[in-house]
Amino acid sequence: MKIGSTTINNCKIGSTQVNEIRIGSTLVWQFSSLDPDAQAFITAAGITNPTQQTAIDTLVLSLKANSLWAKMKAIYPMVGGTATTHKFNLKNPLDTNAAFRLSFVGGWTHSANGALPNGTNAYANSFLVPSAQLSLNSTHISYYSRTTGAVGNCFGAANLGLTNRTLWQFGGATNYISIYTAPANYFLYTGATSLSMLTANRTSSTLMNAWQGNVKKATSTNLSTALTSVALYLGGNNANGTPDTYSNAQCAFASVGDGLTDTDVTNFYTAVQAFQTTLGRQV
Amino acid sequence: MRLDNLTQDQKLTYVGLLTEVQKDELVGQLYTDDSYFNPIQDATDNWIISVEEMEFCTIELFMWVKDLTLIEYTPKVNKL
């Protein structure tokens, strides 16, 4: 509710909390004890389950307490069990491309455990174009995968000829990672699985790292070239406008944002893992 | 092979076969709330959609996808 251009977040008479305001029988404002950003997402996505509401609120508070909230451009909690609830960006829960609301394309199965692409033709367009939103030497992307032995790109985008590529690709016991590199300048680690929160991170022109859970698995000094100028896809790769390399990794959370310090990644994982545990879907 | 006859294991390997005209009808269209069809070509250039798109389709106009002939899926190979 607004009075003029001022948003009313709370209303008390003396020390007494007002719970709702009605004009006649029409409810025009209702008190919420939740964080306003969490409440906005819950309202947009139509999340009515109290456990899910609490999990989202706690996640937002934790991200803010650890100075991570401001570093995020898009956060996809994948809560609520349908495409309609999974599509919303926690940072800006508007149903528009400009708010980086996901558009699910191809064969997805949505459930309380997240969004499962089929590995055949499924991807989600984030509409988030790195060259318009992110910095060349400060970017992270995370994907909470609940699938062991997955294939394909859990996220990816590249320009013509696979230049300026951004990816996390599963290849058997090897994971391939890149943020804004030349075509062959991805890096990898072996002995890998596709299970856990996977975070690819660039913090300078000559430093990238890859995290599985809260363990740093690999680093690379491969140079950044230029920001990818097509939108990032989840569950597949955006090959300069054409989707390919589809994945079958179930997504229970994803994010895109600025580069993260090692401490940030650890705090981020702790917050997301607590979120998943509250929802009973942690891996 | 029809959708109703598929086992869970077969759902992982089978896809619905489209004609070129059917493909054109589905491109850019919703098959259920907030989910769009994505016809693609297999290794021999057949146009196909996934079993999920067939199974979860709730749009009256496209209910015919549930009756598509099913074929085993062979993907095109993408390089890293």
Tell me the mean pLDDT per 10 residues along chain A, length 283.
77 86 86 92 97 98 98 98 98 98 98 97 98 98 97 96 96 95 96 94 98 97 98 98 96 98 98 98 98
B57 confidence band (pLDDT: 50, 70, 90): very high
> Are A90 and A227 in the same domain?
yes
Token digits of residue A274: 């607590």
Does some domain include residue B80?
no
Region of poorest pLDDT, from A154-163, A174-183, B7-16, B37-46: B7-16
φ, ψ (nearest 5 deg) of residue A94: -100, 150
A chain contacts of residue B40, beta-carbon cutoff 8 Å: 106, 120-121
* pLDDT at residue number B8: 86
- Short-list B71, B73, B74, B70, CA closest to B3: B70
Residue B7 inside a domain? The answer is yes
A81 to A38, A101, A238: CA distances (angstroms): 17, 16, 25
Domain-located, residue B77: no
Same domain for A41 and A10, yes or no, is: no
Contact at CB, B50 and A245, closer than 8 angstroms: no
The answer to whether residue B32 is domain-embedded is yes
Q: Domain span at residue B8?
A: 3-72
Whether residue B11 lies inside any domain: the answer is: yes
Q: Domain count of chain B?
A: 1
Within chain A, where are the H helices? Answer: 36-45, 50-65, 83-86, 130-133, 262-279
Residue range B67-78: average pLDDT? 90
Dist. CA A212–CA A178, nearest whole Å: 15
Q: Nearest-5° angle of CA A15, CA A19, CA A23? A: 115
Same domain, A26 and A108: no
Are A102 and A89 contained in the same domain? yes
Q: Are residues A46 and A5 in the same domain?
A: no
What's the confidence (pLDDT) of residue B1? 78
Nearest to B36 among A104, A118, A169 (CB): A104
Claim to verify: residue A161 and residue A222 sit in the same structural domain: yes
Q: Are residues A54 and A142 in the same domain?
A: yes
pTM listed for this prediction: 0.92
User: Quick check: A151 contacting B, CB < 8 Å?
Assistant: no
Angle CA(B43)–CA(B44)–CA(B48) in degrees, nearest 5? 80
Q: How far is CA A78 from CA A126, A238, A252, in A?
A: 13, 21, 5
- Determine, for residues B52 and A176 on separate chains, whether the beta-carbon distance falls below 8 Å: no
Question: First-to-last CA distance in chain A?
Answer: 40
Q: For an interface test with B, which of A84, A121, A175, A250 has the most B Cβ atoms less than 10 Å from its Cβ?
A: A121
Q: Mark whether A9 and A141 lie in a shared domain.
A: no
Using alpha carbons only, what angle is made at residue A157 by residues A151 and A158, rounded to the nearest 5 degrees? Answer: 115
Q: Pull the structure tokens for residue A281.
A: 């879907």
Domain assignment of residue B21, yes or no: yes
Residue at B78 is within a domain: no
Distance from CA of B33 to the nearest CA of A (A): 7
A25 and A93, same structural domain? Answer: no
For residue B79, is it within any domain? no
Residues 6+ apart with CB under 8 A from A111: A81
- Provide the pLDDT for residue A17: 84
Domain check: are A108 and A185 in the same one?
yes
| Domain span holding position A9 | 1-31
The count of domains in chain A is 2
The band of B79, judged by pLDDT with boundaries at 50, 70 and 90, is low
- Whether B38 and A106 lie within 8 Å, measured CB to CB: yes
Reference B80, options A22, A17, A237, A212; nearest CA is A237
Do A117 and A247 have their domain in common?
Answer: yes
- Give the CATH number of the domain where residue A237 resides: 2.60.120.200
Hey, which residues 169-228 in chain A have their CB within 8 Å of chain B? 169, 171, 176, 186
By Cβ distance, the residue of B33, B50, B78 closest to A118 is B50
Contact A213, A191 (CB under 8 A): no
CB contact under 8 A, B33 and A121: no
Same domain, A66 and A18: no
